[in-house]
Amino acid sequence: MHFLTSLLGALTLLAPTALAQDDSSSTLSSSSIPSSTPSSTSTPTATSSETPSSSASLSDAASSHGAGRWGAVIARQLSTSARGGRTAFVPVDDEFPTRRVRQTEDETQQYLYQVSDQLLTAADLRNSTGSVIESLSTNANLGGRGQAVISQGQRGDSYDADSSIGLFSGLGNNVTIVEQDIPFNGGIIHIISGPFTPPSPLSDTLRASPRASNFSSHISSQVSSLGSTSSITLFVPTNDALSASLGSNVTVSESEATALADSHVISGSVAYSPRLVDGASFQTANGRDITVTVDESGEVVLNNDIRLVQSDIIIENGVVHLINKPLYTPDDGTVFTGAAESAFRSSRMMMMVGAFAAIVGGTAYF
């Protein structure tokens, strides 16, 4: 009996301790939750280095923002691309074209031109210099890189986080983002006001630009060669700029056309506007230097005097910028034939004829 009494007493003393140990093992305090475990209420922050979280497909996300028709065909094309896409620029459905029964290669490239494997938020596209957006389109002669679309940023001191974002493509056409940073399960979507314009060859682009017709005419013998060269930047003086410098009816010889073209082209480097930053320098095909400065208003200036009239006219093999003065003129070392020299020759001939007539008439003007 004494033994049983002692045993019951011992069990009574041990029971509270055992219960306490069981409670502590089944209950976790908030401090014991691993810090890497996300809270159910946490919201991911979109940055250029991480993909925003969403379970919606590209087509579903686009459809919920009025761009389902474009979203569906872009998503279908994207599914066959080995590179994949992280940023899709999806036009509103109002801009969807009437499609053919069979999709053409041009249409395929159009859809791929709307997608980039870069993750580009609205903040990235709006930054001070803008962004070069490399698309999935292979309709380009850019050394293996995809065709580009350009966002032009806000240079100078007038930054506005709510300003519209313009996107520039072929022929210098531009569209704007109407809704931004919409997540889908592979990245983000920007809804845009219309589709990008696929870049054309240089020759077609110059013909389509009325302000570039004089320069195009002067270098016509060089356009084919320039158009087949990979990765070029061509600075084109406007018609008014050339007329002011060379006269309105100037003619150009073959050697002069080569000199004129080579003095305005950068070969092997595509200087889209985001790359025209203060202090940048380039060299033309014939060795002339181009130095870039950016003034207080954010305007790009070349060689301290020449300004861009229109930038980022995207072509198949690079970019064209229209400028307000030639980078190269007859005063730089090459004599152009044409209006100015013809006038000089005509004047000189008249003087000789007059002198001859005076001599014949018995009067000498010496």
d(CA 366, CA 355) in angstroms, rounded, equals 9
pLDDT of residue 19: 35
3-state helix, strand, coil in the chain (%, to 5): 35, 20, 45
pLDDT of residue 153: 78
d(CA 226, CA 228) in angstroms, rounded, equals 5
pLDDT of residue 247: 78
Task: Write out residues in the chain with pLDDT < 50, as ranges.
Answer: 1-47, 101, 334-366
CA distances from 328 to 92, 260, 300 (A): 44, 7, 18
Chain centre distance of CA 196: 11
pTM comes to: 0.76
SS3 133: strand
pLDDT of residue 50: 57
d(CA 259, CA 266) in angstroms, rounded, equals 13
pLDDT of residue 17: 41
pLDDT of residue 11: 40
pLDDT of residue 171: 97
232-237/318-323 β-pairing: parallel
pLDDT of residue 252: 81
**Residue of 86, 62, 84 lying closest to 73 (CA atoms):** 62
C-beta atoms surrounding 321 within 10 Å: 22
Tokens 């159910």 correspond to: 40
d(CA 135, CA 167) in angstroms, rounded, equals 13
289-294/281-283 β-pairing: antiparallel
Tokens 């974002």 correspond to: 165
Residue 183 contacts residue 46 (beta carbons within 8 Å): yes
Q: What is the DSSP letter of 211?
A: G
Domains of the chain: 58-192 (2.30.180.10), 202-331 (2.30.180.10)
pLDDT of residue 195: 96
